[in-house]
Chains A and B, each alone.
Chain A
Amino acid sequence: QQQVKQSPQSLIVQKGGISIINCAYENTAFDYFPWYQQFPGKGPALLIAIRPDVSEKKEGRFTISFNKSAKQFSLHIMDSQPGDSATYFCAASGNSGNTPLVFGKGTRLSVIA
């Protein structure tokens, strides 16, 4: 049973455009929602994370939007650059850290000039 559903599987965005990746979850015990970025041959790198007490968190060009009632959260990449081309994973964990991270299946983002 997939606990975190991520879409789309792949995404092509023009340079300077906005990339949007969506995730949905079922487990209401989840209370921590990180996003990871992975380049080929590398491990996932933590990009940004949010907790359910806020609806939005912004770090540079990356923004997480969180909708607790809909059990959805999304990553927005503003002014997308070719260097942002990577695979992005959303994840969730719960019970204040006592349960492991559950990952979405990933979104392969390609930013074209």
Chain B
Amino acid sequence: KAGVTQTPRYLIKTRGQQVTLSCSPISGHRSVSWYQQTPGQGLQFLFEYFSETQRNKGNFPGRFSGRQFSNSRSEMNVSTLELGDSALYLCASSLGGPGNQPQHFGDGTRLSIL
């Protein structure tokens, strides 16, 4: 069974630009969560989508947004990029049903802002 796939793996952008990251969950998984990982702040939750609806949202500015498609694939968008947005962006998928379901992570997209 294929794991969580994130594309692209690496991305370099400049301040003020916008970026879209993609995540394909494990087949059959309906929940997709996004996290930002930095050396200083660690892993921080961005948002979770389940059945195309945002179910939870972290404490990030509105420049960070996401969506989920009917096939459970998800995208996140960051607009007006800032230097502080440089991070590893991780996507995790789970079955998403009732109760705590194990989350499985992709290898992330490394975003660098110049």
Does B99 make an interface contact (CB < 8 A)? yes
List the A side residues contacting B99 at CB < 8 Å. 96-97
Categorize the interface residue count of chain A. 20 to 34
Q: Is B62 an interface residue (CB 8 A)?
A: no
Q: What are the residues of chain B within 8 A of A31 when measuring CB–CB? A: 100
Nearest CB on A from B99, distance (A): 5
B52 interface residue (CB < 8 Å to A): no
Which residues A7-32 have CB closer than 8 A to chain B? 31-32
Q: Provide the residues of chain A in CB contact with B4, threshold 8 Å.
A: 43
* B contact residues, range: 20 to 34
- Which residues of chain B in 6-55 are interfacial with respect to chain A, using CB atoms and an 8 Å cutoff? 6, 33, 35, 42-45, 48
Residue B101, interface by CB 8 Å: yes
| Main DSSP-derived SS at the B contact region | strand
Q: Is A100 an interface residue (CB 8 A)?
A: yes
Within 8 A of A (CB), among B32-87: 33, 35, 42-45, 48, 56, 58
**B100 partner, pick from A32, A43, A44, A104, beta carbons under 8 A:** A32
Considering only CB atoms, which chain B residue lies closest to A99 in the complex? B56
Extra A-B contacts (20), CB below 8 Å, given A42-B107, A97-B99: A31-B100, A34-B102, A43-B106, A44-B90, A45-B104, A46-B104, A49-B100, A89-B43, A91-B43, A96-B100, A97-B98, A97-B100, A97-B101, A99-B56, A100-B48, A101-B45, A101-B103, A103-B42, A103-B44, A104-B42
